[in-house]
Amino acid sequence: MPRMGTVNYHVHKPERQAFRIDADGVPGRLVSPELVATRVSVKDLRTGEAAVSFARDGVAFANHPTSVGSFATETDWAPVYDSELADLLTRDLGVRDVVVFDHTIREDDPASDRKPARNVHSDYSRDGAEKRLVDILGEARASEWSKGRYAFINVWRPLDNPINSAPLGFIRPSSVAGSDWILLDLIYPDRRGQILGLAANDDHEWVYSSCMKPGELFYFNIFDSCGLPSVAHSAVDLVEDPDIESIRRSIESRTLVRY
């Protein structure tokens, strides 16, 4: 039976809205536009209530243990982990180039500088993706990649313990209307970007995988130059077992791929 959880949807407004990250130079300080907490039904992929495929839905679940023993604050582990992610995406999607350009470790702890993202969103608009392509590759390589198909794909996995609270949930793209999307500015102390927020719609079909372990992961499409739908996602406020008190800790890795 589907679980019930709470997510925070964005709201259509006549004016342009924005997030401010590390606002006023304070690490972890986030100033958000208006959000509306909404109860949603979430289908569990693990129990067979729903199924997804990357080709159709832009999201896939995989058993893919890592050889990294500890994801400490230093990034000594990054070369090994980057190689593992590149191997995964090359094997599963047949891409020819993978650039892993960012990792974010999130902890569901009030003291954390990077908490789970609790707004329904996708990470790039088309303009934001095209700008980020140049930021990462430079003008010359970005121009070369733009002649073919490229995409931004995120990879998410639990760290330390199985996920018991605030799991990552996804909306099946076929249940999203074009008018649900809202263009948002993303303002950092040193740069600007654009993301897409999502407004509530009763047709949205939410999916997740219960009790995910550190050896499991999701990879999902954020932007595809040839039109594979972007996947709206968010942490979902639900608890699998109220007797377990472990803190939700995860790593989200951002990749740029060329098909």
| Distance of alpha carbon 29 from alpha carbon 112, whole angstroms | 10
Give the model's pLDDT for residue 99: 98
> Nearest Cα to 196, choosing from 117, 256, 133?
117
pLDDT at 79: 95
Instruction: Quickly count: other Cβ atoms within 10 Å of residue 249's Cβ.
Output: 19
Domain ranges of the chain: 3-258
Please tell me the predicted confidence (pLDDT) of residue 253: 98
* Cα(251)–Cα(248) distance, integer angstroms: 10
Tell me the C-alpha distance between 145 and 42, whole Å.
Answer: 37
Q: pLDDT 10s per residue in the chain (259 long)?
A: 889 999 999 999 999 999 888 887 888 788 889 999 999 999 999 999 999 999 999 999 999 999 999 998 677 899 999 999 999 999 999 999 999 999 999 999 988 888 999 999 999 999 989 999 999 999 999 999 999 999 999 999 999 999 999 999 999 999 999 999 999 998 888 888 889 999 999 999 999 999 999 999 999 999 999 999 999 999 999 999 999 999 999 999 999 999 9
Quote the CA–CA distance of 76 and 85 in Å, as a whole number: 16
Angstrom distance (rounded) from CA 133 to CA 139: 9
**DSSP per-residue letters across the chain:** --EEEEEEEE---SS-EEEEETGGG-TT-EE---EEEEEEEEEETTTTS----HHHHSEEEEE---S-----SS-TTHHHHHHHHHHHHHHHH--SEEEEEEEEEEE-STT-SSPPP-S-EES--HHHHHHHHHHHH-HHHHHHHHTS-EEEEEEEEE-SS---BS-EEEE-GGG--GGGEEEEEEE-SS-EEEEEEEB--TT--EEE-TT--TTEEEEEEEEETT-PPPPPEEE-B-BS-TT--PPPEEEEEEEEEE-
pLDDT computed for residue 52 by the predictor: 97
Backbone angles phi, psi at 185, to 5 degrees: -85, 145
What is the Cα 116 distance to its own chain's centre?
10
- 108: amino acid identity, one letter: D
Q: Residue 27's pLDDT is what?
A: 80
